[in-house]
Amino acid sequence: MKNAGYKTVYQGGVGEIEEKKSRFIASVEPVSSEEEAIAFFNKKKKEYWDARHNCTAFTIGAKHENTRCNDDGEPSGTAGRPMLDVLLREDIHNVAVVVTRYFGGTLLGTGGLVRAYQKSVQEGLANSVIITRQQGAKLTIRTDYTNLGKIQYLLAGAGITVLDTEYTDGVCIHTMVPSEQLAALQNDITQGTSGQAQMEPGDEVEYAILDGQILIF
């Protein structure tokens, strides 16, 4: 089963490309409100005060409810909208991006500008840390060694993250389970172990997995 959730930026990054001696510097930042996005834009405009253009785009909300973009003097539709299109196409939420352009003396044309701004955003995202946030709950499973293999098989088949396993006279497995999979997984474990496993679900939280570690929000 595919886990529900949404992609967002955990840690922003910077990417730079060069097109016909023009430098395009993309700065990516996680944001949770329009006010945070605007503050980030203003910060970058001060940092790159001597640049010809500081074009911006942001998208906020689990369903992209609030989006905005600005060409900052570039021909209409050649900068901000293409930047925003990259964020929407990649389906990344709660993110703001500024692309700073230092003009190199050669006009790129409409198509060239669109490609350059999009490519720079892609480079910025590639240098950022992207995570998938989703709803879930910790599930503690207690079992004997006889049923351990069956439970491990069910967890692996469902793509469940195992946080820790304690081996004593029995086995205690700590997992994080997406909310939409919790009931079905508990049912599968109950049937697979003939009711021999004990399960203790925790409170629902929003979480993400990064480098094998769990992040709770």
Per-residue pLDDT tens for 23-73? 999 999 999 999 999 999 999 999 999 999 999 999 999 899 999 999 999
- Cα separation, 101 vs 78, in Å, equals 13
Q: What are phi and psi of 70, to 5 degrees?
A: -150, 135
Rounded to two decimals, what is the model's pTM?
0.82
Its domain, for residue 25, covers 6-127
Domain boundary residue among 97, 127, 157? 127
What Rg, from alpha-carbon coordinates, does the chain have?
Answer: 23
163 and 207 assigned to the same domain: yes
Across the chain, mean pLDDT equals: 94
204 and 119 assigned to the same domain: no
Q: What are phi and psi of 162, to 5 degrees?
A: -95, 120
Query: Total structural domains in the chain?
Result: 2
Q: Taking Cα atoms as reference points, which of 48, 116, 121, 52 lies closest to residue 84?
A: 121
Q: What are phi and psi of 87, to 5 degrees?
A: -60, -40
Answer whether residue 1 is part of any domain: no
